Structure 1
Amino acid sequence: MKNDAPWVAPLQQLPASLKPIAAMQQKHYGAVLNPTRWWGRMPRLFWLVALFVGFLERRRSPLSPELRALLMTRVSQVCHCDFCIDANSLRLAERSGAMEKVLAVADWRDSVLFTAQEQAALAYADAVSATPPRVDDALKTELTARFSTDAISEMTALIAFQNLSARFNAALEIPSQGLCQRAGHPDA
C-alpha cells in the first residue's frame, strides 16, 4: 500500500453481511479484492453499488460485454486507478480474447484495433470523464449515428459508475492486486 495512514487502511475483518461476496471473490480471484476491504466500512452502500454493477453487467444490456470492459478500462486509466486498470484490463482481455486491445486502450486514437463504434464510445468515455464533462455536438452526432438512445443512456451510466469507483479507489490509493498478471496477461 502506498500510504498506510489509518484513515486509508483496509478493514482486517469484513462485516458478516459481506462474507458471501468475499467468499466468491476468494474462489474466483484467489483473494478478497482490495476495494471490498475499503467499501466494507459501508456494507449497505457496498450492496447498492454491487446491485448497480450487476444491472450494468446483465445479459440484456444494449452494450456488448467487450464494449463495457473497454469503456471501464479506459475510464480507469483516465482516473489513474491502479486497481481498476488491473481488474478491468483482465476483464477486457477475457472478453476480447487477446491482450492487443488492452495494450492499445491508452492510445486508442492512434490504434487501428478499434471499430468506429468503439472509437465513438471511447471518445465519449474521455469526454464524460473530464471535469467538467465535455460532450460536444459533433460527438453527440457520432454517438446517435452508432448507438440507440437506450445504449447511450446505459453507456453514460456505466461511465459515470466507473468514474465513481475509480475515483474512490484512486483517492484512497487502493493498490492493484496483479489480477491480470495472475491470469496470464503479464503486459497489462
Structure 2
Amino acid sequence: MDARLNYVTGPTTGKTFKHLMAAGRALKESPLPAVTQELVALRVSQINGCAACIDMHTKEAAAAGETPVRLNLVAAWREATVFTEAERAALEVAEQGTRVADAGEGVSDEVWARAAGHYDEGQLTALTVLVSFMNMVNRLNIIARRPAGDYEVGQAH
C-alpha cells in the first residue's frame, strides 16, 4: 500500500509538518506521565482506525517498558483490571474527546471531574491538547493513507 501523498517532505506541507511535529515533541515534555500519553495516543488511534499511529504508539510504549498485556487491553480498558484509576480517567477523556459527535456534548462534566481528581491543571491541559493532536494526526494519516507496519522506535516522524 502506498500513501496518496507525502505530507512529511512535500513541497507545500513539509514546513507545516515540521511545526506539527514540534508540537508533538512539546507534548512529550509535558507534565502528563509518559505512559499515560502513550496509552491515550494508542486509544485515540484505535478509535479512529489509524493504523500508522497504532503501529507507532504500540512500539513506542513497548520500548518504554509497557507490558504486552496492558497494550493488548487498551481497546477494552473498561473491563481490564491492569490500569490505574488515573489512567482510566485519562482514557475516558480520550474516548469522549475523540467521539465528540457521538457524545453530543464532548467530554461530560462527570468524566472531566474524574480526570480532575487525578491530574492538575497542567496535566489536564496536556491531556486535552494530546487528544486533539492525536485526532488531527490520525485524520492526516487516514486521508493520506499512510501505510503501517514499518515504524521503528525513535524514528523521526
Fold equivalence (TM over 0.5): yes
SS in 2 for 1:38: coil
Contact 1:69 1:95 in 2 (8 A): no
- After the TM superposition, which residues 1-188 of structure 1 pair with which residues of structure 2 at under 5 Å, given as runs? 1=1, 9-10=4-5, 37-41=6-10, 42-58=13-29, 61-132=30-101, 134-179=106-151
Q: Count how many residue pairs are aligned between Structure 1 and Structure 2.
A: 148
CA distance in 2, matches of 1:95, 1:114: 16
Give me the whole-angstrom Cα distance separating, in 1, the residues matched to 2:78 and 2:148: 26
Distance 1:150 1:118 in 2: 16
Residue in 2 that maps onto 1:33: none
CA contact (8 A) 2:40 2:91 kept: yes
Instruction: Indicate conservation of the 8 Å contact 2:86/2:118, yes or no.
Output: yes
Which runs of 5 or more residues in structure 1 are unaligned? 11-36, 184-188
Deviation at 1:134, TM superposition (A): 2.1
Name the structure, 1 or 2, with higher relative contact order (CA <8 Å, separation 6+): 2
| Paired-residue identity, % | 25
**Structure 2 unaligned spans of 5+:** none
Aligned partners of 1:119 and 1:9: how far apart in 2? Answer: 36
* TM-score in terms of structure 2 length: 0.87
> With structure 1 as the length reference, what TM-score do the two structures score?
0.73
User: Which secondary structure does the structure 2 equivalent of 1:70 belong to?
Assistant: helix
Measured against aligned partners, the alpha-carbon deviations of 1:147-179 in whole angstroms (never above 9, x if no partner) come to: 101110111001110110011111222110244
Give the aligned residue type for 1:166: N
